[in-house]
Amino acid sequence: MKICKFLIVFLITLFFLLCFIFATYKQKPQNDNSTTSELIQNNLRLESFYTNKADYEQAFEKATTGNQQKVIAGITSHHFLAKSLIAQFFAGIALESIENIIIVGPDHFYYLLDKEHQVVTSKRTWNTLYGAIYSKRSLIDSLVLESEIEIDDTLFLTEHSIYTLVPFAKKVFADATIAPIVIGTNYSYVDSYNLGRRVSQIVDLDTTLLVISSDFSHEVLPEMAGLNDEKSKQAINNLHLENISSIECDCKPCMAFLAGYLEEEERYFFKVVDNKTSNDFGEIQSRVTSYISGYFVKVKKELD
């Protein structure tokens, strides 16, 4: 008897479940060919993998805000291990005029390797521990219209060169909007340079902060990291398409993009904020990753 009652309840439950599924299917538009993943993605907000607010707060506690710099662009790490360095980078930038932040990083996982497009962006909103940071949709539409940049949201779910930096940017620039850009490994230095030039012509340079998200020497002896970093800093301080290959980093096309972006600037210099290795953050290893963080600052014109 108990088995019969259970079977009846099961069949009734199954019946109503099938009715619900059928009703849901009937409500779906006839011309909707979206996959389940695409339907989920339609409501997607992007976010960082790192969600412990105490980590960010501790990083910013160590940051100083004295003598904030009015910068054109900057370079910083995307390793969360170096979070105090990232916090110092953002905290040291003058806040007044920054309305838009462009973050350019590498395609670590070769998502774009076999894609027709080699440079992508996203118009998605980002959730952070400090609130939502919205995309600058008008700017992104212009970038897509006037350059080789394409919309591709999927990459930004896993690309730490972008998502690591977003909460830091929101913490400091609470009202700024964002335009993330990832450059594929197959994109040439010349194409990257020309793209940087075009982007600089589209944006308002006075209200835009360009951040190059890049780490430098990878898995080398500390002594070699020091030598590589000195050579990289010299090349960055005299940034031209011809010396990009001298920069030992994980996104040389990003550096070429930066060179093109800065081409129209009359005079600037690269001010190093810090130069560390992974060993400086407690990860003591025989081989290290190095980090160079710094700003491109305009040279003040001499008074006549």
Give kind and range of the element (H or E) at residue 2. Answer: helix 2-27
Better-scored residue on pLDDT, 116 or 89:
89
pLDDT at 252 over 60: yes
Read off the pTM.
Answer: 0.84
What does the alpha-carbon distance between residue 102 and residue 110 come to, in Å, rounded to a whole number? Answer: 21
Question: DSSP label at 278?
Answer: G
pLDDT in the model for residue 42 = 58
Better-scored residue on pLDDT, 9 or 42:
42
The alpha-helical segments, DSSP class H, found in 28-99 are 36-41, 53-61, 83-91
Stretch 204-227: mean pLDDT: 96
Better-scored residue on pLDDT, 5 or 83:
83
In the β-sheet with 177-183, what is the strand arrangement from edge to edge?
150-151, 119-121, 177-183, 100-106, 208-213, 71-76, 290-298, 268-277
The position carrying tokens 């290795």 is 277
pLDDT at 123 over 70: yes
How close are the terminal C-alpha atoms of the chain, in Å?
A: 103
Question: Per-residue pLDDT tens for 34-80?
Answer: 333 443 455 689 999 999 999 999 999 989 887 888 999 999 999 99
Contacts with 277 (C-beta within 8 Å, 6 or more apart), sequence order? 217, 222, 225, 288, 289, 290, 291
Stretch 216-237: mean pLDDT: 97
The position carrying tokens 């779910």 is 157
Q: Which is the CATH superfamily of the domain at 3-298?
A: LigB-like (3.40.830.10)
Question: DSSP label at 111?
Answer: T
